[in-house]
Structure 1
């Protein structure tokens, strides 16, 4: 698989004050996919503008033609598989079959408590995720689904006519633990990682490379257990959360070096954050655009 370059556009801009033109520019620059975060608020952006993922992606679908669109990532924190499936089928139709669902178990941020519940333990998140993904898989494939689980239920949920993409739109499953890896191996057309979070503050880039190599090996083991070849699973790295932080976007050469090291590990897609001034994702826009237009040619 050749390396693809994608971006993630945080939904903080008003649509008519930079939002629309940003998504259109992502298509002009040739990105494979433009993702957005599916949170109700997020970290340092909590007290500023922040818009919903599905309406944003729907608007982006209406003003682009070739660019793939997706979440990075949706989680059970405030989503239910039945209502999410209906929204995804609608979005897949509006976009003409250009949607990828990035999906993960969720974390302990604002989304974990915004509905009034206590944050779930890591085990509770894993338990819910293990039920959420297979049910969502069925809802996107089948015309009518009934299901009674420990956490989620569906009673004759209708999803006609289903996805434009068949048998359903692709899942990119974010996972690092053994149970999540099994879900990625069974249900994922792609697997997503941000690296090892334990290394973010004090680790080195070299340690990070070793850590993600280990993650890829665990994915391969999980796939082998069900008779699947992990070589057929796309491997996606969401940048900005490894010890390198924003350094790969400091120059074209720095990015080519970073992306090359990870392509050698087996990654098939690198995702970079669209620059946001005065934030953790600040970057020189001219350098960013040069990376978008020139980096892959230097890696081929």
Structure 2
């Protein structure tokens, strides 16, 4: 399976003041997929413009034709499975079957308290995520769903005609812990990681590679528990959060070296942040575009 390159475009600009152009250019450059964050605000961008993921992806679907589209990642922090399923079915229809749902348990940032709730503990997030993804799987594959759980409920929720992609649009499950890995093995068509967050500040690239190797081994173990071949799951690395940070994007050679080391771990897709000046994702646009157009020929 050849290594694919994708990009994630943060929704920090007005559609007609640069955002649309980035999505169109991403497709021109040949990226496999274009993703966006599904947050209500995020870190250093909190006090500036920030737009919603679903409307942004809807607009992107209307100005692209080939590139897959999706979230990295959606979480239960401010979503409900019933309303999310309806939006996803609509997105899948508008894009003619090009949507991938990146989905995870969510973190402890602004989204975790924006609706007025207390932050959930790690156990509560894991419990909610397990129920959330299981319910969403049903909502996207069954015409009518009634359900009463510990955290979510639905009464005759109808989702006709269902997804363009059958039996449903693919899930890319973000996970690093045992429970999340089991959910990825059960429900995922892909698995997503950003590496080991404990290594971001003081770790080394070599330590990061070893941590990612251990993660892929845990995923394989989770798949083996249910008799699933781990090779059947796409393995996605969202870059920018390993100790390498932006160094792999400083040159074509640097990226090819980085991508090759991670392809050896079994990763099938590497996602690069679209350059944002004066931010953690500030890289040279020309180098970024050269990587997008030339790196694939030098990768496995």
TM range (shorter): over 0.9
String of CA shifts for 1:177-220, please: whole Å, max 9, x gaps. 00000000000000000000000001000000000000000000
C-alpha distance in 2 between matches for 1:80 and 1:294 = 41
- Counterpart of 1:148 in structure 2 is 148
TM-score, scaled to structure 2: 1.00
C-alpha distance in 2 between matches for 1:29 and 1:196 = 30
C-alpha distance in 2 between matches for 1:247 and 1:137 = 38
String of CA shifts for 1:150-174, please: whole Å, max 9, x gaps. 0000110000000000000000000
String of CA shifts for 1:65-89, please: whole Å, max 9, x gaps. 0010000000000000000000000
- Once superposed, which parts of structure 1, at least 4 consecutive aligned residues long, lie more than 6 Å away? none
String of CA shifts for 1:5-30, please: whole Å, max 9, x gaps. 00000001100011111100000000
String of CA shifts for 1:109-137, please: whole Å, max 9, x gaps. 00000000111000000000010001000
- Counterpart of 1:74 in structure 2 is 74
- Counterpart of 2:8 in structure 1 is 8
Q: Secondary structure at the match of 2:5?
A: strand
Displacement after TM superposition at 1:285 (Å): 0.1
1:115 and 2:104 aligned:
no
Cα RMSD, aligned residues only: 0.4
TM-score, scaled to structure 1: 1.00
C-alpha distance in 2 between matches for 1:152 and 1:250 = 45
- Counterpart of 2:242 in structure 1 is 242
Displacement after TM superposition at 1:46 (Å): 0.0
- Counterpart of 2:269 in structure 1 is 269
**Structure 2 gap segments, 5+ residues each:** none
String of CA shifts for 1:234-284, please: whole Å, max 9, x gaps. 000000000000000000000000000000000000000000000000000
C-alpha distance in 1 between matches for 2:187 and 2:48 = 35
1:294 and 2:290 aligned:
no
1:52 and 2:19 aligned:
no
C-alpha distance in 2 between matches for 1:182 and 1:164 = 27
C-alpha distance in 2 between matches for 1:76 and 1:173 = 13
- Counterpart of 2:87 in structure 1 is 87
Q: Secondary structure at the match of 2:83?
A: helix
Displacement after TM superposition at 1:145 (Å): 0.4
Q: What does residue range 155-170 of structure 1 map to in structure 2 within 5 Å?
A: 155-170=155-170
**Structure 1 gap segments, 5+ residues each:** none
C-alpha distance in 2 between matches for 1:82 and 1:179 = 23
- Counterpart of 2:251 in structure 1 is 251
Q: What does residue range 116-265 of structure 1 map to in structure 2 within 5 Å?
A: 116-265=116-265
Displacement after TM superposition at 1:2 (Å): 1.0
Q: Secondary structure at the match of 2:277?
A: coil
C-alpha distance in 2 between matches for 1:72 and 1:160 = 26
The number of aligned residues is 300
C-alpha distance in 2 between matches for 1:242 and 1:20 = 29
Q: Secondary structure at the match of 1:128?
A: helix
Q: Secondary structure at the match of 2:34?
A: strand
C-alpha distance in 2 between matches for 1:179 and 1:104 = 11
